[in-house]
């Protein structure tokens, strides 16, 4: 973190500040102070505040790396793939270790997208979503439309995202100490996986087609 390269320090500090305050509320002075750099440094190295922000988002989802085990061990069942997928996703959602402004920034971008959003979807969210799509294709009846698969995918990720995006509400709803127990990746991931598998495996495109209207 405390590297001697001011540009790197700037990027790091900016990420933190943007993540916790948002683009508007974050001030370049605050960023520079944390980076122990001069106010002019931002404009010198990045042009302006917005380009610095975009650079932060880029770095955020580059550093995120590890795009899930795409080459599953031979013979992995669809169930286990889904279990791993949800497991990794929940591991991200519940991860609090600092500095993890990367995720926080991406979450913020997802919640109220700026121009950095499109690129984020293309290079990070999209591929993950495609993997989930593939897993669900394995688990669902073949005849099902892509549209129906998408609905199921949304059902899976929706359950996961809740735990990060609405954490404060969750805490207030079920109480501090119980919510603390939900801060357990394996517990929650296993619930979501089972819940989703039941939701998926009962689907029969013949006997219970999705409504069409």
Q: Which residues bind DNA (CB under 7 A)?
A: 6-7, 26-29, 37-45, 48-50
Give the C-alpha separation, 24 to 121, whole Å.
22
From CA 162, how far away is CA 170, in angstroms rounded?
9
Which residue number, 7 or 167, has a Cβ lying nearer to DNA? 7
Least spacing, CB of residue 182 vs a second copy, in Å: 7
Contacts of 163 (CB under 8 A, 6+ apart): 90, 93, 94, 170, 182, 188
Instruction: Give whichever of 35 and 139 is closer to DNA, judged by the CB atom.
Output: 35
Q: Which does 28 bind (CB under 5 to 8 A by kind): a second copy, DNA, none?
A: DNA
The rounded distance, in Å, linking the Cα atoms of 15 and 131 is 28
Closest distance of CB 64 from DNA, Å? 26
Residue 94, binding choice from a second copy, DNA, none, Cβ under 5 to 8 Å by partner class: none
Quote the CA–CA distance of 188 and 173 in Å, as a whole number: 17
Stretch that binds a second copy, among 3-11, 48-56, 58-66, 192-200 (CB under 8 A): 192-200
Sequence-separated contacts (24+) of 63-69 with Cβ below 8 Å: 63/102, 64/102, 64/103, 64/106, 64/124, 67/127, 67/128, 68/128, 68/131
Per partner kind, with CB cut-offs from 5 to 8 A, the member of DNA, a second copy, none near residue 132 is none
Site for a second copy contains 134 (CB under 8 A): no
**Minimum distance of DNA from residue 41's CB (angstroms):** 6
3-state secondary structure of 109: helix
Supply the DSSP symbol for 47: S
Binding interface with a second copy (CB under 8 A): 22, 24-25, 110-113, 117-118, 121-122, 125-126, 129, 146-148, 150-152, 154-155, 157-163, 165-166, 168-170, 172-174, 178, 181-182, 184, 186-188, 190-192, 194-196, 198-203, 208, 210-213
């Amino acid at each position: 973190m405390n590297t001697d390269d001011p540009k790197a320090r700037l990027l790091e500090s900016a990420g933190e500040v943007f993540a916790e305050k948002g683009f508007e509320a974050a001030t370049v002075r605050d960023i520079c102070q944390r980076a122990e750099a001069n106010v002019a440094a931002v404009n010198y190295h990045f042009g302006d505040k917005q380009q610095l922000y975009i650079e932060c988002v880029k770095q955020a989802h580059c550093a995120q790396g590890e795009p899930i085990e795409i080459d599953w061990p031979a013979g992995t069942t669809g169930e286990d793939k889904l279990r791993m997928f949800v497991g990794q996703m929940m591991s991200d959602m519940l991860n609090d270790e600092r500095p993890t402004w990367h995720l926080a920034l991406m979450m913020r971008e997802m919640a109220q997208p700026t121009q950095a959003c499109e690129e984020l979807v293309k290079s990070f969210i999209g591929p993950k979503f495609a993997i989930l799509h593939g897993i669900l294709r394995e688990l669902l009846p073949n005849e099902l439309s892509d549209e129906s698969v998408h609905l199921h995918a949304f059902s899976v990720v929706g359950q996961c995202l809740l735990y990060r995006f609405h954490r404060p509400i969750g805490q207030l709803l079920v109480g501090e100490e119980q919510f603390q127990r939900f801060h357990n990746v394996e517990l929650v991931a296993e619930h979501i996986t089972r819940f989703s598998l039941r939701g998926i495996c009962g689907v029969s495109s013949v006997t219970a087609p999705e409504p069409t209207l």
